[in-house]
Amino acid sequence: MGGKIQSLPGFRDFYPEDCAVRNYLFDRWRAVAHRYGFVEYEGPVLEPSELYKKKSGGEILGQLFHFEDRGDREVAMRPELTPTLARMAAARGRDYKKPLRWFGIGQFFRYEKPQRGRTREFYQFNVDIVGEPSRGADAELVAFAIDLMRDLGFTADDFSIRLSDRDAWTASLEAEGIGAGDPAPFLNIIDKMERERPEVTADALRGLGTSREAVDAFVAGAGAGGHFSPLLEDLAARGMSDFVEVDLGVVRGLAYYTGTVFEVFDKGRGMRAVAGGGRYDNLCGLVSDGAADMPACGFAMGDVVITDLIRETKRANAQLLTHLQAASAADVYVVVADESRRPDALATVQRLRQAGHRVDYPLAPAKVGKQFGQAEHLCARAAVVVGSEFPEVGVKDLLKRSEDRVDVAEMPGRVRAVLDSPPEGPHIA
Amino acid sequence: MGGKIQSLPGFRDFYPEDCAVRNYLFDRWRAVAHRYGFVEYEGPVLEPSELYKKKSGGEILGQLFHFEDRGDREVAMRPELTPTLARMAAARGRDYKKPLRWFGIGQFFRYEKPQRGRTREFYQFNVDIVGEPSRGADAELVAFAIDLMRDLGFTADDFSIRLSDRDAWTASLEAEGIGAGDPAPFLNIIDKMERERPEVTADALRGLGTSREAVDAFVAGAGAGGHFSPLLEDLAARGMSDFVEVDLGVVRGLAYYTGTVFEVFDKGRGMRAVAGGGRYDNLCGLVSDGAADMPACGFAMGDVVITDLIRETKRANAQLLTHLQAASAADVYVVVADESRRPDALATVQRLRQAGHRVDYPLAPAKVGKQFGQAEHLCARAAVVVGSEFPEVGVKDLLKRSEDRVDVAEMPGRVRAVLDSPPEGPHIA
């Protein structure tokens, strides 16, 4: 190959404006996690491939970036965090008081056909409670997901939580005498139902002595008796009833989860799952060969779909834009109006940075007009002009286009006043 | 393989206490970058292997985690960020006003023998100025590195900047008539000098008509005329002279850099380079096949050595510990003293979280004593006790061991007061 080297298909470059959006999302993820009393952890991006083979959901294996390393180990770039969490909890879980409230923010990799909403790398927010079997933990996670969406600027008009439960399905199987005591074959069919051709699903269900019509009727019945009451009452106590609906049609991952399953559902045109999770009481034991058999539940949100949804949703997007505008590259630009005064300008730069301001200045001699142009390009609010009158300097409010000339000793206070003053001039509230 | 799956050699698990240290470092990196007016970007963790073959420093190739992906592409997990920066600048650099002040924080991978201070993955802070040929940019980076170290709690007793310059070496070669106009063979020898057996270096230098003694004498001469004056004067204007020394013995990367070279040097027992960089005016053009031939300079700091150095340095470590202590997992613990009041407790949790506090509570019924134990374990400062007297609740200061009983309507204000009060009781300053 010759010519320009390009990035790999499905891998994103985060130019500063993209990285700012990514960081906004990370900041919100972290802020809500902290309010919920969760602490952050992180595992390696590369793991033994075996870690992903242990998990029942074989679907992921065909999408792994995996290879043999120089030490002849079968290794894989992680497609998800949960197996790593189970490995870490198995290795040192006893050092921590249960329940663990752990969250992670990291990058994951799947070799899929790149398309809208699907890249080969993505960031994911993973939130898990380990060591607590009660449904109170399930409710806490659903509440977390709701507050996360609200924190991002979404309302009950934009999203809902669709609640399902593996146990509700298995109870129904038993009542109907389907599957002869082993729910796995049935749940596998249900799990694949949304992606499978209808006639294949119908055939498979017929083989187990039931039908698509019976399944649809069960989903439509929805209530499933009082099965969801504890969860719904918990969320009602938090004032969150408007955000939750029982929907037994949420079937993805039923073969993997062991109890509650839920997804955050985009109610707009997209109709996408933007996050999902549930209870997975067997996984830690499975990955650790029984060394850490702990109940656990969790959910994950990727960065790609939620970022699309923010962009498409007026209120959420306005909140993002407000955030981006506030984070200019520089608060203060130091103008070198006389090159012989550059040392004084550098001292000024240093002083302003020590006061905590974001400061830029011309690295090489440049015309004063060009320097002001650069200051405006950076959206700096204030400029300090260092010229032949030094130690007298100019302090400019670049928004109000006003200037004060002060002794350099008074400069930091004057800059502070400019940065703290409302953009529109003083208002009386 | 059977039994417990372990992490790969040289790859770290970041348990919450480790992740908190990592995040402290990331926060300081970002804070100083913002003061210096830099904006963040990020590239993919996986790149075409070719991107790393273009760079002259072939040393890295033998350490790559590389493989053929499912689409028969030769790909590599990135060992460094600079080639990606050059690729990104070549692709879209013209959309941005020069100079670019860009920084990145990400993970990198090298297949090396794991040992103290050397892992197979590491985080690295990359700071680059692209599109500015002047030495003012070099000085800005050196100042950045100094302020970064100070921000982490280090003083001039702990570290210094060792300054070198490829041009100073080539000027000396010309003056001495060594290398017949091509400095590359000579600089390659110098570049490898620190790691090579002395007799091999001596032989090689003799082949070029000079000697190890002559080289050592040149390094000892150090000043190299006024070559470093512009840089030193710039740094002096910022009050940073104490942190800088010219040291032509800094030779690593001379074959790669095109002008100024510097490293942040640990003056303590470790005597390690904790960060390093310089000017690399040819790389963008090289990686982009001439499409983006831009002058550039930058430096990078990895997380492993600097974290060791922080831990070993009293003042820096004390600052880290103070930060970690302030970041407890929960500010407020809501005690459910009467299970029939759990819905009121959940509403209280929700209210406190909406006020921005970090809140934890028992997910399942637990004895009150155990709940207070958990609150102390989490280092929560306040507890709110919801029991049979609701809407009267208890607000406890867990540090001062005092309690107020208030109506739940007054609870948020009382919690705020506890969290804001100094730990030792009110002092008059």
Parse chain A into domains and list their residue ranges. 16-323, 329-420
The residue ranking higher by pLDDT, B89 or B389, is B389
> Which of A238-252, A317-331, B216-230 has the weakest average pLDDT?
B216-230
The CATH code belonging to domain B16-323 is 3.30.930.10
pLDDT of residue B429: 43
| Class of CATH domain B329-420 | alpha beta
Please tell me which residue, A227 or A316, carries the higher pLDDT value: A316
Q: How far is B343 from chain A (nearest CA, A)?
A: 5
- Which residue(s) pair with A275 in the sheet? A264
Chain A touched by B35 (CB under 8 Å): yes
Mutation for A interface: B4, B5, B127, B128, most A CBs within 10 A: B5
- pLDDT number for residue B115: 84
Q: Which of residues 121-180 of B touch A (CB under 8 A)?
A: 121, 129, 132-134, 136-137, 140, 143, 147
Q: What is the pLDDT of residue A84?
A: 93
Contacts of B15 in chain A (CB under 8 A): 41, 88, 92
Of B301, B240, B262, B267, residue with least CA distance to B29: B301
Per-range mean pLDDT, top range of A290-294, A322-326, B327-331, B385-389: B385-389
A46 within 8 A of B8, measured Cβ to Cβ: yes
Q: How confident is the model at residue B59 (pLDDT cuts 50, 70, 90)?
A: low
CB A131 within 8 A of CB A100: yes
The ipTM of this complex is: 0.93
Residue B428 has pLDDT above 60, yes or no: no
pLDDT at B174: 78
Average pLDDT along chain B: 90
| Cα of B227 vs its chain's centroid, Å | 30
CB A105 within 8 A of CB A123: yes
pLDDT at A269: 76
Across the range A201-217, mean pLDDT stands at: 86
| CB atoms B23 and A40 under 8 Å | yes
Shortest Cα–Cα distance, B112 to chain A (Å): 10
A-chain residue closest to B93, CA distance = A15
Contact at CB, A363 and B102, closer than 8 angstroms: no
Residue B349 CB burial class (10 angstroms; 0-12, 13-18, ≥19): buried
Whether the CB-CB separation of B313 and B153 falls below 8 Å is answered with yes
CA distance B56 to chain A (A): 16
Which chain B residues contact residue A16 at CB under 8 A?
Answer: 39-41, 96, 102
The per-residue pLDDT for B57 is 52
B154, B145 contact by CB (below 8 A): no
Tell whether A53 lies on the interface with B, counting CB pairs under 8 A: no
Q: What's the whole-number mean pLDDT along residues B172-180?
A: 75
Q: What is the pLDDT of residues B60-96, one digit of tens each?
A: 778 899 999 999 999 999 999 999 998 998 888 889 9
Rg, C-alpha atoms of chain A? 28
Whether A39 and chain B come into contact, CB under 8 Å, resolves to yes
B353 touches chain A (CB under 8 A): yes
Q: Name the percent of chain A in helix, strand, coil, to the closest 5.
A: 45, 20, 35
Q: What is the pLDDT of residues B104-141, one digit of tens each?
A: 999 999 998 888 778 999 999 999 999 999 999 999 99
B160: β partners: B265
Range 292-331 of B in CB contact (< 8 A) with A: 329-330
Measured distance CA(A334)–CA(A379) in Å, rounded: 13
Note the pLDDT of residue B62.
82
The answer on pLDDT for B232 being more than 90 is yes
Contact between A19 and B38 using a beta-carbon 8 Å cutoff: no
Least confident of A143-157, A218-232, B165-179, B261-275: A218-232
**Is B42 at the interface with chain A, CB within 8 A?**
yes
Cα(A111)–Cα(B118) distance, integer angstroms:
30
Mean pLDDT for the stretch of residues A219-239: 82
A395 min Cα distance to partner chain B (Å) = 19
Per-residue tokens: B54: 């273009």
Distance between CA atoms of residues B125 and B30, nearest Å: 9
Q: Quick check: A339 pLDDT over 90? A: yes
Chain B nearest-CA distance from A171, in A, is 24
Using a CB-CB cut-off of 8 Å, the residues of chain B touching A330 are 37
Work out the minimum CA distance from A427 to partner chain B, whole angstroms: 27
The pLDDT score that the predictor gives to residue B134 is 94
Give the pair of three-digit tokens for residue B412: 């948020």
Q: What is the pLDDT of residue B1?
A: 36
Q: Which residue has the higher pLDDT, A323 or B429?
A: A323
Contact status of A107 with chain B (Cβ, < 8 Å): yes
CA distance B78 to chain A (A): 12
Confidence at B304, pLDDT banded by 50, 70, 90 = very high
Most confident of A215-229, A405-419, B222-236: A405-419
Cα–Cα distance, A266 to A249 (Å, whole number): 15
Taking an 8 Å cut-off on Cβ atoms, the answer to whether B350 and A129 are in contact is no
Using an 8 Å CB-CB cutoff, list chain B residues near A34: 358
Chain A contact for B366, CB < 8 A? no
Q: Is pLDDT at A9 greater than 80 in this prediction?
A: yes
Q: Report the alpha-carbon distance of residue A407 to residue A268 in Å, rounded.
A: 58
Identity of the residue in B50, B359, B362 whose CB atom sits nearest the CB atom of A1: B50
Enumerate the residues of chain A whose CB falls inside 8 A of the CB of residue B374.
97
Looking at chain A from residue 245 to 264, which residues have their Cβ under 8 Å from any Cβ of chain B?
none
pTM above 0.90, yes or no: yes
Per-residue model confidence (pLDDT) at position B93: 82
The region of weakest confidence among A375-379, B20-24, B55-59, B402-406 is B55-59
Across the interface, of B8, B237, B353, the residue whose CB is closest to A36 is B353
Q: Any chain B CB within 8 A of the CB of A19?
A: yes
Predicted local distance difference test score (pLDDT) of residue B418: 96
Give long-range contacts, CB 8 A cutoff, 24+ apart: A189-192. Answer: A190/A215, A190/A251, A190/A254, A191/A251, A191/A252, A191/A253, A191/A254, A191/A255, A191/A256
pLDDT of residue A1: 36
Percent of chain A scoring above 90 in pLDDT: 66
Which distant-in-sequence residues (6+ apart) come within 8 Å of A102 by Cβ? Answer: A38, A39, A40, A41, A85, A127, A128, A130, B16
For strand A159-165 and strand A244-246, is the pairing parallel, antiparallel, or unpaired?
parallel
A377 CB within 8 Å of a chain B CB: yes
Chain A residues near residue B2 by CB distance under 8 angstroms: 289
Q: Which residue has the higher pLDDT, A282 or A239?
A: A239
Q: Is the pLDDT of residue B280 over 60?
A: yes
Task: Suggest the residue from B1, B21, B38, B39 to mutate for an interface test with chain A (most A CBs closer than 10 A).
Answer: B39
Kindly state the average pLDDT of the residues B249-261.
79
